[in-house]
């Protein structure tokens, strides 16, 4: 079944700006912002709470089952810190947000992340874990890496995605 609207993943290390970008993009385009964190919580797609990391232990199969019917219809912005679990056939664009270490440190400190989680996320950003994950899971030409340090960058990132969306609509017009 072909979609009349695309699905876009906005991913990156926690604190890179996924939620801010997703909300702004949803506002500008009418695409639906799907915060996977909220789905995990609300639909209980998890196997409990990890005290050390202060986060849910996600049940990926349950999560995919919970969103499959909606997402397959198209028009979703999937906002999450992982991307390689979503089937390739669901996804049209993967945006990987990036920030420098100092900025990420400040943002995560402000969020009062536990030390172990803070360090792990800083390391993941330095090692480009999410970018590699995205490139391995999807065709490289649909993976876009964007800087997300300043508000101006967020504006231009969202503008770019809006332009991409318009082009996608033209290419997929029936």
Is 44:113 a contact under the CB 8 Å cutoff?
Answer: no
Rounded distance between C-alpha atoms, residue 144 and residue 81, angstroms: 15
Choice from 3, 46, 72, 107 touching ligand ADP (CB under 6 A): 107
Using CB under 6 A as the binding rule, whether residue 113 contacts ligand ADP is answered as no
Smallest gap from residue 174 Cβ to ligand ADP (A):
34
Q: Mark residues 10-49: x for contact with ligand ADP by CB under 6 A, - for none.
A: --x-xxxxxxx-----------------------------
Sign of dihedral through CA atoms 71, 77, 81, 87?
Answer: positive
- Report how far apart, in Å, the C-alpha atoms of 47 and of each of 41, 56, 58 are: 11, 7, 6
Smallest gap from residue 155 Cβ to ligand ADP (A):
9
Given 3-state DSSP classes, what are the helix, strand and coil percentages for the chain, each rounded to the nearest 5?
50, 20, 30
Interacting span for ligand ADP (CB under 6 A) from 8-16, 43-51, 65-73, 160-168: 8-16
18 is in an annotated binding site: yes
The residue count of the chain comes to 174
Q: Mark residues 144-173: x for contact with ligand ADP by CB under 6 A, - for none.
A: ----xxxx-xx-------------------
Residue 161, both tokens = 């995605």
Using CB under 6 A as the binding rule, whether residue 74 contacts ligand ADP is answered as no
- Report how far apart, in Å, the C-alpha atoms of 36 and of each of 17, 64, 120, 172 are: 14, 10, 20, 27
Nearer to ligand ADP, 112 or 170 (CB): 112
* Interface contacts to ligand ADP, rule CB under 6 A: 12, 14-20, 107, 148-151, 153-154
**Residue positions forming the annotated binding site for ATP:** 15, 17-19, 111
């Amino acid at each position: 079944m072909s979609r009349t609207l695309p699905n876009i993943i906005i991913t990156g290390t926690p604190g890179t700006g996924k939620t801010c970008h997703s909300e702004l993009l949803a506002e500008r385009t009418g695409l639906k912002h799907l915060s996977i964190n909220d789905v995990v919580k609300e639909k209980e797609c998890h196997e409990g709470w990890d005290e050390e990391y202060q986060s849910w232990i996600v049940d990926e199969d349950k999560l995919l089952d919970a969103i499959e019917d909606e997402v397959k219809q198209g028009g979703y912005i999937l906002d999450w810190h992982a991307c390689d679990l979503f089937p390739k056939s669901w996804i049209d664009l993967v945006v990987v947000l990036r920030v420098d270490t100092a900025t990420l440190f400040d943002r995560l400190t402000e969020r009062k992340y536990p030390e172990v989680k803070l360090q792990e996320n800083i390391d993941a950003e330095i090692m480009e874990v999410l970018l590699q994950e995205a490139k391995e899971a999807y065709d490289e030409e649909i993976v876009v890496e964007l800087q997300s340090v300043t508000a101006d960058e967020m504006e231009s990132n969202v503008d770019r995605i809006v332009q991409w969306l318009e082009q996608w609509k033209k290419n997929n017009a029936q």
